Amino acid sequence: MPGGRPRTFDEDEALERAVEVFWRQGYEGTSITDLTTAMGVNKPSLYAVFGGKADLFRRVIAHYAEHDMAYARAAIAEPTALQVAQRFLRDNVVAVTLDDKPNGCLSIQGGVSCSTENQDVSQFLAASRLAGEKAFADRFRLAITRGDLPADTDPDALARFLMVVSEGHAIHAAAGVPRESLQKSAAIAEQAFKAMITR
Amino acid sequence: MPGGRPRTFDEDEALERAVEVFWRQGYEGTSITDLTTAMGVNKPSLYAVFGGKADLFRRVIAHYAEHDMAYARAAIAEPTALQVAQRFLRDNVVAVTLDDKPNGCLSIQGGVSCSTENQDVSQFLAASRLAGEKAFADRFRLAITRGDLPADTDPDALARFLMVVSEGHAIHAAAGVPRESLQKSAAIAEQAFKAMITR
DNA sequence: TGGGTTTCATACCGTTCGGTTAGAAACTCA
DNA sequence: TGAGTTTCTAACCGAACGGTATGAAACCCA
C-alpha cells in the first residue's frame, strides 16, 4: 500500500484539540464545524479517521482519562489513606485550574445533562465518575485491612466525600473561581478527612 | 377588553413543567417541541406568553430560585453559623433527591457548559451560584461580628466550601446516587465545618 | 345573532445540525 | 510518465432547530 495524498493534520494533535473543544463546550454544545475548525481536519477525514461525533467523543474521553486524569491514579498509589486524600484534593484543584487547558473537568463539562436522545452521553460520564469513586473506596478498604484506617470507618462514604468535593471544585473552576480560592476550600475538606480517620 | 378564546393551559402550571424539562435536559438539550409538549402550550402561545426560549429560561430560573431554592434562604436565616451550615447541607441533600422532581440542581443541570453562542446562559447560572455563595459569606461575616465565629476564620472560604459540597452533591444526585449515600457525605462535611469553627 | 377579541392548530420560514457523495489534488511506486 | 492510493475541497442530503404567519375556533358582550 503506497501512500496517497498526505494528511494536513496529526491524528494525536487533532484529538487533543477535540478534547479541548468538548471540554469547553460540552458534547451537545459542540458542532462538527467547531471540531473540524479546531482540529484542522476536514469533514470527510474526520468521519473516516474518527468515525462520527459520538465515536470521536469516546476517544476524547479515553484520551482525557489517560492523560488529564493521571493525577487521580497517582493519588491512589500513595502509601497511606490520608496521603491519598491529600494528594487527590490538592492535585485536583491544580488540574481544574490549569492555564493551558479549559477550566473545570471534562467529565462534568462534557455533559451533565443532555437531550433525551443523548442521555447515554451523560449516563456514560456519570458512570465513569462513579467508577473512579469505587477505585477510591477500594483503596480505603485496603487501608482498613492494613490498619491504616480505623476498622469502623466507612470507606464508601470517604470516597464519596472526596469525589463530591472534587466535583464541586470542578464546577467552581469552570465558573472562573481562581486556584487560590479553591485551595482554601480543599484545605477545609482535608481537615474533614483527617478528623474522620484519626480517633 | 372582552375575553377571546380561553387558554387550554394555566400559566403557572406550564411554567413549572418548563422548569422540570430544563432541569432534566439543560438549556441546549431542550427543544421548543420538548417544551410545548410538556407544558401543554402550542408554539405560537409559548412565544406570545413567554417570549422565546431564552426569555422562558430566565423565568424558569426565577421560578426555581424562588420555590426550589427557598431552603437556602431558610438556612441563612438560622441563628448560628453552625446551624446555617448544618441546615444548608442537610436540606440541600434532600432538595437534590426529591421523588417528584428531577435529581440534581437546575442551576447546574441547566447548562454548566454551552456552545459559543449560548455562553451567556452558563455564565448567568455560574454568576447566580456565586451570588448565593456571597450571601453565605456575608452571613458568616455577620457571625464573626456577633462573636458566633472565631475572629480569625475565613468567611469566604467557609461559604465556598459549603457551595462546593452542595454542587458535588447535586452532580452526584443527577448521577442517580441515593439520598442516604449523600447524607453520609454531608455528615463528613458537617464535621469539617464544625472542626473549622471550634478551636 | 353578530362584531370584537384571543387562542387554537397547522403550515411555513431560513438556518444549522450530523453525515455523505463527487471529483480534483497530492503523494508512492514502477 | 502513468497507474494506484489517499486525502483534499466543495457541494449536497434529509431532519431538526428556533421562530413566525395564517386562518379557523371559541369565547364575551351587545
**Mean pLDDT score, B60-78:** 98
Q: How many residues does chain A have?
A: 199
Name the nearest CA neighbour of A115 among A22, A174, A27, A52.
A27
pLDDT of residue B198: 83
- Closest B-chain CA to A194: B192
The yes-or-no verdict on residue B2 having pLDDT over 80 is no
**Any alpha helices (H) in B40-76, and if so which ranges?**
43-49, 52-67, 70-76
**Mean pLDDT score, B55-62:** 98
Percent of chain A scoring above 90 in pLDDT: 96
pLDDT of residue A193: 92
pLDDT of residue A198: 83
Q: Is the CB of B176 under 7 A from strand D?
A: no
What pLDDT, in 10s, does the model give residues A5-31?
A: 999 999 999 999 999 999 999 999 999
The yes-or-no verdict on residue A2 having pLDDT over 70 is no
Determine contact, residues B98/B180, Cβ cutoff 8 Å: no
The yes-or-no verdict on residue A110 having pLDDT over 90 is yes
Contact flag A196-B188 (C-beta cutoff 8 Å): yes
Q: Does B197 touch chain A (CB under 8 A)?
A: no
The yes-or-no verdict on residue A171 having pLDDT over 90 is yes
Give the distance, in angstroms, between the CA of residue A174 and the centroid of all CA atoms in the same chain: 13
pLDDT of residue A3: 79
Distance CA B12, CA B61 (A): 13
- Closest A-chain CA to B30: A115
Residue B35: CB atoms within 10 A of its CB come to 23
Strand D, nucleotides < 7 Å from a protein CB: these are 4-11, 16-29
The band of B176, judged by pLDDT with boundaries at 50, 70 and 90, is very high
- Within window 23-82 on B, which residues have Cβ closer than 7 Å to strand D? 30-34, 43-44, 47, 52-54
Q: Does B159 touch chain A (CB under 8 A)?
A: no
The yes-or-no verdict on residue A199 having pLDDT over 70 is no
pLDDT of residue B199: 62
Distance CA A175, CA A132 (A): 23
Q: Does B191 touch chain A (CB under 8 A)?
A: yes
* Contact list, A126 vs chain B (CB under 8 Å): 174-176
**Mean pLDDT score, A105-124:** 98
Angle between helices A155-174 and B155-174 (to 10 degrees): 110
Contact flag B113-A157 (C-beta cutoff 8 Å): no
pLDDT of residue B132: 98
Q: Is A78 left (phi over 0), alpha (psi -120 to 50) or beta?
A: beta
**Mean pLDDT score, A174-192:** 97
* Contact list, B109 vs chain A (CB under 8 Å): 112-113
The band of A197, judged by pLDDT with boundaries at 50, 70 and 90, is confident
Residue B99: CB atoms within 10 A of its CB come to 6
Q: Suggest the residue from A164, A177, A179, A199 to mutate for an interface test with chain B (most B CBs closer than 10 A).
A: A164
The band of B35, judged by pLDDT with boundaries at 50, 70 and 90, is very high
The band of B83, judged by pLDDT with boundaries at 50, 70 and 90, is very high
**Mean pLDDT score, B118-144:** 98
Contact flag A160-B177 (C-beta cutoff 8 Å): yes
Percent of chain A scoring above 70 in pLDDT: 98
Annotate A70-96 with DSSP letters as a single string: HHHHHHHTSSSHHHHHHHHHHHHHHHT
**Mean pLDDT score, B133-162:** 97
Determine contact, residues A41/A49, Cβ cutoff 8 Å: yes
Distance CA A197, CA A163 (A): 17
The yes-or-no verdict on residue B120 having pLDDT over 70 is yes
**Any alpha helices (H) in B111-174, and if so which ranges?**
119-145, 155-174
The band of A1, judged by pLDDT with boundaries at 50, 70 and 90, is low
pLDDT of residue A38: 98
Percent of chain B scoring above 90 in pLDDT: 95
Distance CA A118, CA A27 (A): 9
pLDDT of residue A121: 98
Contact flag B126-A31 (C-beta cutoff 8 Å): no
The three three-digit cell numbers of residue B9, written as one number: 393551559
pLDDT of residue A48: 97
